[in-house]
Amino acid sequence: MYKIKNVYAREVIDSRWNPTVEVELTLDNGVKWIAICPSWASTWIHEALELRDWDSTRFLWKGTLKAVNNVNTTIKENVVWKSFESYRQLDKYLIELDWTKNKSNFWANAILPVSMAFVDACSKAENKEIFEYVWEWKWYILPYPMMNIINGWSHADNNVDIQEFMIVPVWATSIKEAIRMWAEVFHNLKKILSAKWLATSVWDEWGYAPNLWSNEEAIQIILEAIKKAWYTTDQIKLALDCASSEFYKDGKYDLAGEWKVLDYKQLVDFYADLVEKYPIISIEDGMAEDDFAGWKLLEEKLWKKIMTVWDDLFVTNIERLQMWIEWDLANSILIKLNQIGTVSETIDAVDLATKNDMRSIISHRSWETEDTFIADLAVAKNTWFIKTGSLSRTDRIAKYNRLIRIEDMLWDKAKYGR
């Protein structure tokens, strides 16, 4: 049982120099912890809502003082000097206090950092690591990282349509080794891009974002870098987040970078061809969020060969997952805390997916902070994968370094990958 002494929210800055909400939560035993809410660039219909101030005089409309105020007034008045048996009980209380279906009373960017900070503070009060406090296992399986390497579409300013090209070091024997492999490939990728006079600036999730002739060229350049780093495609696999809702217009998929407009059947053929030719193990959001015919066909054609991953359609929402599971439209899901707004609902989503033989990928957002909660969450829930960007800026590195530390801490109680 933990009693909350104080919650205090403030505006801090995220990795894309926009403001976000940070919450400092103090328990009555003096233990204090800070949690920060991430944000995102892409626009999805079904997510829990984040509140922006829409005041043109601050941060180009993107201020978060209203969300900060929700924490510092109503939420604070209701939780301070109250005791909660568990984070689950606090989350339930916050959900009831908000009383809307999509958290549009306090909004997800006010509720989530309170929920996370409470988990953090309780774990500290119990003298446990966050992952141990969330779930204590005899053995832990550390997740394969899906590591961003080239960015496109709304995560960059180049002409590449697919949003994220990632590499997955499946052959590594530890997280440390997986991370080293990524770093070596990334250095080599830079050399290749420079030699071709292509841009080596990094974007949102901090992979490179060169202009290319096609999406396939991005894959080919990555394979070249893998080879140049002396690895094989048995050791390092590829994963894509197509974020195809972003280029879905009037029922068609507009691959502007390739001057192609495809219907859903042609897009599925396009993916099937890539999967045939390249070592791709996962395609996220291959189809747009409400293109059910497209999802059905993609699943029919590719579910045995790769992971078909839901992000936009499911948005970490257990009710939506329950609704869509029987349709059998994907075999894996992306898990993002701020899409649903509390830690316990996020955990319920992972559990429901696991119960239905779906693989979970704990994910960052495109606009991140130094908060490393997702690294602990992935370890606590023994998820198959974690997706937390490239290694080239501290907002992402912080999560990878936390995984390295957890691996050391667990020592022989942990094993990397399946």
| Catalytic positions | 205, 336
Residue 215 or 363: the one with the smaller Cβ distance to ligand PGA is 363
Tell me the window of 40-48, 223-231, 254-262, 268-276 that interacts with ligand PGA (CB under 6 A).
40-48
- First CA to last CA distance, the chain: 36
**CB of 389: closest distance to ligand PGA in angstroms?**
9
**CB of 179: closest distance to ligand PGA in angstroms?**
20
**CB of 30: closest distance to ligand PGA in angstroms?**
35
Residue 38 to residue 14: CA distance in whole angstroms: 7
Residue 178 to residue 195: CA distance in whole angstroms: 26
| Measured CA distances, 20 to 112, 137, 326, 417 (Å) | 12, 33, 37, 33
User: Which of the residues 352 through 371 are near ligand PGA (CB under 6 A)?
Assistant: 363, 365-366
Site string for ligand PGA, 115-154 (x = CB under 6 A): ----------------------------------------
Residue 53 or 311: the one with the smaller Cβ distance to ligand PGA is 311
Tell me the window of 38-46, 143-151, 169-177, 393-401 that interacts with ligand PGA (CB under 6 A).
38-46
**CB of 242: closest distance to Zn ion in angstroms?**
8
Q: Indicate the helix (H) or strand (E) that contains 89.
A: helix 87-98
Neighbour-count burial for 12-45, b at 16+ CB within 10 Å, e otherwise: bebbbebbbbbbbbbbeeebbbbbbbbbbbbebe
Q: Count CB-CB contacts under 10 A for residue 263.
A: 13
User: Which of the residues 1 through 20 are near ligand PGA (CB under 6 A)?
Assistant: none
Residue 241 or 348: the one with the smaller Cβ distance to ligand PGA is 241
Q: Which of 7, 9, 14, 42 binds ligand PGA (CB under 6 A)?
A: 42
193 contact, one of Zn ion, ligand PGA, none, CB 5-8 Å limit per kind: none
Site string for Zn ion, 17-46 (x = CB under 5 A): ------------------------------
| Residue 311 within binding range of Zn ion, rule CB under 5 A | yes
Q: Output DSSP code: residue 403.
A: H
Alpha-helical (H) ranges within 249-340 are 264-277, 292-302, 318-325, 337-340
| Residue 237 within binding range of ligand PGA, rule CB under 6 A | no
Question: Which phi and psi (to 5°) does residue 202 adopt?
Answer: -110, 155
Neighbour-count burial for 276-312, b at 16+ CB within 10 Å, e otherwise: eebbbbbbbbbbbbebeebbbbbbebbeeebbbbbbb
Q: Which of 2, 33, 40, 385 binds ligand PGA (CB under 6 A)?
A: 40
**CB of 377: closest distance to ligand PGA in angstroms?**
16
332 contact, one of Zn ion, ligand PGA, none, CB 5-8 Å limit per kind: none
| Residue 240 within binding range of ligand PGA, rule CB under 6 A | no
118 contact, one of ligand PGA, Zn ion, none, CB 5-8 Å limit per kind: none
| Residue 241 within binding range of Zn ion, rule CB under 5 A | yes
Q: Measuring CA to CA, which residue among 376, 333, 417 is closest to residue 135?
A: 376
416's CB contacts (< 8 A; 6+ apart) are 141, 142, 144, 172, 173, 174, 175, 177, 178, 407
- Residues contributing to the site for ligand PGA (CB under 6 A): 40-42, 241, 243, 311, 334, 363, 365-366
Interface ranges with Zn ion (CB under 5 A): 241, 311
